[in-house]
Structure 1
Amino acid sequence: MSAHDLKPPMIHGVSASCVVLPSHTNYKTIFEFLCAHFQHIHASEWQKRCDDGLVFDQYLMPINTFTPYQAQQHIFYYRFLAHEVNVPFPHHIIFENNDILVVDKPHFLTVSPTGRYVQQTLLVRLKQQTGIEDLSPIHRLDRETAGLIMFSKKPTNRAAYQQLFADRKVTKHYHAIAQYTSRLSFPYQFQCHMKKGEPFYTMCIDPHLPVNSETMIECLMHNQNYAKYLLKPSSGKQHQLRVHLNALDIPILYDPFYPLVTHKEEHDFRQPLQLLAYMLAFTDPITKQNMQFFSRQSLTLP
């Protein structure tokens, strides 16, 4: 086995990340390079990772702050956060076979590790639970949104499942709670051009560009003030359903981004966004079986 075939084991559901040391630099130590290359991570954090044995060279030998720099060497490191807010809501695996997992995600749980979350992410939870290091989400689901998300278990067939979403061969139904309106006649088809907004993590509508997003909206039930809507997107733009309902002046209840960005404390789990990825259906590209899954969660009218 060559050095490039070696890989550190998964620790507490976290897989090792890898970076290659570039040529033509003046770094004396690997520690110096890591501090300069990852400027968002404080030097004291790299010091702690080295001290805790969480940084390795390509031969899986631990690196300390004095290990000499050697160009083109593969360096492995683990991502851990000193302080991470616990997300006190469980996930549920509702289907598993040799190729995929289908998981019912709670509100407030980020799918993959980000700057603020590592252990408190669905992917790391699942890796800890199953021991499957090659798990990878096949599509997106916002931290604020609850419901169904699918994971690939094998890198060899991950692309086949991702292609289903790219080719729009997956039927996705969502439930949402928003203001009731009598202005619209349901079912109502909404189309628009969506693009990156300001702030950068939001989306907006440009009425002058060609349509690139579409949602069919049905009203399942309503009271005097609120309605439970069935949303059937035929495209998969970021925040599509949230932007579409907001454009119709019926923003989803408790949406922290639309119509106005509001920042909540990380530990504030009140008022979850009332959006649920309720159903997934597709023909499995490996088994050729027709698959259909429903979330065990539900949204109720206030």
Structure 2
Amino acid sequence: MPLTHIGILHEDPAFLIVNKPTLLLSVPGRAEDNKDCLITRLQENGYPEARIVHRLDWETSGILVIARDPDSHRELSRQFHDRETGKRYIALCWGQPAADAGHIDLPLRYDPPNKPRHIVDHEQGKPAQTFWQVLERHAEHCRVELTPITGRSHQLRVHMLSIGHPLLGDRLYAEGAALEACPRLALHAARLEINHPQTGERLTFDCPAPF
């Protein structure tokens, strides 16, 4: 498949910064019809050495860092594991939060009976923390900045749902007007901060949300 709609935001010998479009897997799925994905498109179109470091949900768009050699992959993966990276997302959430900012600290786990959904579980869930801030208030929804401290699957989506403000267009967690308010999941990885895997220099990359 071509690189269509994948934006190369930065390129150097150690890594790429790319803009993943919505409705594209980060890595191949198990089913035969889920083989098309971002990493495969990169490997087949000029970047055979590309190695995935972290992922975004199928419906989430935005910034991903892609390693280009084993040492860079190892170092970048370590930074994510040790929470040395900085990540910020832009989202549209349904309703009007009473406060302008807040902190969500709720443990999450996979919910097999309702796959691929995740749920809050205070007994079996893994720790998860998210900071949120309202950027703009509109009649029925808000534009928010979300800063995850941990990196659990569906973390931002479930955390915002847990405080009564599901993300617009979220086919897994939103219902009714919130689901119909946007033609796609209104969640975009807008900023990524990493240390250069070779020089150690702190780098910040931005990618404006398309909504």
Asked if 1:241 corresponds to 2:156, the answer is yes
Given that residues 168 and 174 in structure 2 are in contact (C-alpha distance below 8 angstroms), is that contact kept between their aligned partners in structure 1? no
Given that residues 191 and 211 in structure 1 are in contact (C-alpha distance below 8 angstroms), is that contact kept between their aligned partners in structure 2? no
Q: Secondary structure at the match of 1:255?
A: coil
Q: Which amino acid aligns with 1:187?
A: A
Q: Which one of the candidate residues 184, 188, 191 is aligned to 1:272?
A: 184
Q: CA deviation at 1:282?
A: 1.9
For the structure 1 residues 219 and 296, does the alpha-carbon distance in structure 2 shift closer, same or farther, using more than 3 Å as the test?
closer
Asked if 1:123 corresponds to 2:39, the answer is yes
Partner of 2:104: 190
Q: Secondary structure at the match of 1:98?
A: coil
Q: CA deviation at 1:117?
A: 2.4
Q: How many Å separate the matches in 2 of 1:256 and 1:226?
A: 17
Q: CA deviation at 1:209?
A: 5.3
Structure 1 or 2, whichever has the larger Rg, is: 1
User: Which string of whole-angstrom CA distances, capped at 9 and with x for unpartnered residues, describes residues 93-135 of structure 1?
Assistant: 00011111110011111111222222x31112111222x3231
Q: Which one of the candidate residues 91, 95, 112 is aligned to 2:10?
A: 95
Q: Secondary structure at the match of 1:156?
A: helix
Q: How many Å separate the matches in 2 of 1:201 and 1:108?
A: 15
Q: CA deviation at 1:188?
A: 0.3
| Bigger mean CA deviation after superposition, 228-237 or 206-215 | 206-215
Partner of 1:294: 206
Partner of 1:150: 65
In the superposition, the TM-score normalised over structure 2's length comes to 0.88
Given that residues 134 and 155 in structure 1 are in contact (C-alpha distance below 8 angstroms), is that contact kept between their aligned partners in structure 2? no
Q: CA deviation at 1:89?
A: 5.8
Counterparts of 1:43-62 in structure 2 under 5 Å?
Answer: none
Counterparts of 1:86-235 in structure 2 under 5 Å?
Answer: 90-114=5-29, 115=31, 116-118=33-35, 120-130=36-46, 132-183=47-98, 185-197=99-111, 198-208=113-123, 212-235=127-150
Given that residues 130 and 150 in structure 2 are in contact (C-alpha distance below 8 angstroms), is that contact kept between their aligned partners in structure 1? yes
Given that residues 109 and 126 in structure 2 are in contact (C-alpha distance below 8 angstroms), is that contact kept between their aligned partners in structure 1? no
Q: CA deviation at 1:283?
A: 1.8
Q: How many Å separate the matches in 2 of 1:104 and 1:210?
A: 31
Given that residues 179 and 253 in structure 1 are in contact (C-alpha distance below 8 angstroms), is that contact kept between their aligned partners in structure 2? yes
Q: Secondary structure at the match of 1:245?
A: helix
User: Which string of whole-angstrom CA distances, capped at 9 and with x for unpartnered residues, describes residues 11-36 of structure 1?
Assistant: x79xxxxxxxxxxxxxxxxxxxxxxx
Identity %: 24
Q: Name the one with the larger strand percent.
A: 2
Q: CA deviation at 1:156?
A: 3.1
Q: Which runs of 4+ in 1 moved over 3 A?
A: 208-211
Given that residues 170 and 186 in structure 2 are in contact (C-alpha distance below 8 angstroms), is that contact kept between their aligned partners in structure 1? yes
Q: Which amino acid aligns with 1:284?
A: H
Q: How many Å separate the matches in 2 of 1:159 and 1:200?
A: 31
Q: How many Å separate the matches in 2 of 1:286 and 1:245?
A: 36
For the structure 1 residues 182 and 205, does the alpha-carbon distance in structure 2 shift closer, same or farther, using more than 3 Å as the test?
closer
Q: How many Å separate the matches in 1 of 2:124 and 2:20?
A: 34
Q: Which runs of 5+ in 2 are unaligned?
A: 176-181
Given that residues 63 and 190 in structure 2 are in contact (C-alpha distance below 8 angstroms), is that contact kept between their aligned partners in structure 1? yes
Q: Which runs of 5+ in 1 are unaligned?
A: 1-11, 14-87, 261-269
- Which structure has more relative contact order (CA 8 Å, sep 6+)? It is 2
Q: How many Å separate the matches in 1 of 2:126 and 2:60?
A: 25
Q: How many Å separate the matches in 2 of 1:199 and 1:177?
A: 24
Q: Which amino acid aligns with 2:155?
A: Q
Counterparts of 1:76-87 in structure 2 under 5 Å?
Answer: none
